[in-house]
A = this chain, B = another copy of it.
Amino acid sequence: MADGDAPVTMSDVARLAGVSTATVSRVVNGRYGVSASTIAQVRSAIERLGYESSLVATSLRRSRTNVLGLVTHSFQSYTAEVLKGVMDALSQSGFDLIIYANSDLYGKYSEGWEQRHLTRLSGTLTDGCIVVTPWGEVRSSTPVVVIDPVRDSTVPSVTADNLAGATQVVEYLLGLGHRRIGFIAGRSSLAAAWSREEGYRRALAEAGVPADPTLVGRGDFNPESAIPLARALLERPDRPTAIFAASDGMALKVLEVAKELGLDVPGDLSVVGFDNIPESALAEPALTTVDQSMYQLGYEAAHMLKSLVTGEWEGPSRITLPTRLVVRGSTAPPKITESPETTAEA
């Protein structure tokens, strides 16, 4: 079959085998009620024509397709890790996976694209979907599991324990002696972003360190968004001795800005991220961060979705996974302990 030929359909097989499409369907699906000789006929016709059933036609007719969907907008290492977990959870499960990634055609309008794609798929093609870090609450006619949902979402979801992770980071920094700790927040609509910021606040409050609102920059998880915020924080005369960024992507940009400004990390500035993406271990210096096992997020989400689809799910509709502080080279005690008039700017 070269390009341009019409695809082989079930009726082609039926014609060649001299039976009806119904019989072909029964043979293909291994149903009861076909004589051995007919089966042989049909099989040989299928073989000769190289027939494969159309996923689309099957989906339209059947309710179950044994295909699960995953909807994502980006392909950063975060997503790649999640995917590995999803694939492993689905391996040998009988479910195939379709990943739907949009081409960002609509630009700004693309907020809410997850919902559009989800509806387009879930009506027929997939038995259920995983949605990664959506822009808003999602709804679907088939089961959905969200990884990193928006705040106050009621949809089944899987999230890391962002509150505990962020709290631990700040406690660690406080323990090192830092008092002026900057924070670069993530996209505030996401529960993860909110929890990480809340953890930052609580840890400071519990330690009795007065919160300085001007030390908080409003990023959106996009690494680029951290650059001007980091610059603003680090060019102040009373710059913080540590910066905690709500994602590794943003934290890595903070490292770049610091290098650009001639600041030594961790000597002049400690930097902490969140996520533990592979790149963080390779940064110079290696980034201290919170591991949230994106692999595990994907694995659990897939397992949960699979069970929801088959109707076997017994657990809670919201899963929270533990986090782990990973201390590397980007953090150290502050050089000079709390002096308002430290260095002259270069």
Question: Which A residues form the contact surface with B (CB < 8 A)?
Answer: 1-9, 50, 52-57, 59-60, 75, 77, 80, 83-84, 87, 90-105, 115-117, 119-125, 139-144, 278, 281-282
Contacts and interface: CB of A to CB of B under 8 A. Distances in A.
A139 B1 contact: yes
Given A3-B141, A54-B124, A102 B98 contact: no
A103 B67 CA distance: 10
Nearest to A116: B52
A303 to B, nearest CB: 13
Contact of A5 (B52, B83, B141): B141
B90 A103 contact: yes
Contacts of A103: 87, 90-97
Nearest to A279: B278
State the oligomeric state as a number of copies.
2
Contacts of A4: 141
A90 B101 CA distance: 10
A34 to B, nearest CB: 22
Nearest to A80: B80
A217 to B, nearest CB: 28
A92 B105 contact: yes
A139 B90 CA distance: 27
A241 to B, nearest CB: 30
Nearest to A102: B96
Contacts of A97: 100-103
A101 B117 CA distance: 18
Contacts of A50: 119, 139
A64 to B, nearest CB: 14
22 contacts: A1-B140, A1-B141, A2-B139, A3-B143, A7-B141, A50-B119, A52-B116, A52-B123, A54-B123, A55-B125, A56-B59, A56-B124, A80-B83, A92-B103, A92-B105, A94-B103, A96-B101, A96-B102, A96-B117, A98-B98, A98-B100, A99-B99
Contact of A101 (B8, B99, B123): B99
Contacts of A104: 91-92
Contacts of A278: 278
Given A54-B124, A95-B103, A7 B119 contact: yes
Q: Which of A1, A3, A125, A142 has most B Cβ within 10 Å?
A: A3
A245 to B, nearest CB: 22
Contacts of A124: 7, 54-57
A118 to B, nearest CB: 8
Contacts of A60: 56-57, 60
Given A8-B123, A92-B105, 17 more contacts: A6-B141, A7-B124, A50-B139, A54-B120, A56-B59, A56-B123, A75-B83, A75-B84, A75-B87, A91-B103, A96-B101, A96-B103, A97-B100, A98-B99, A99-B99, A99-B100, A281-B282
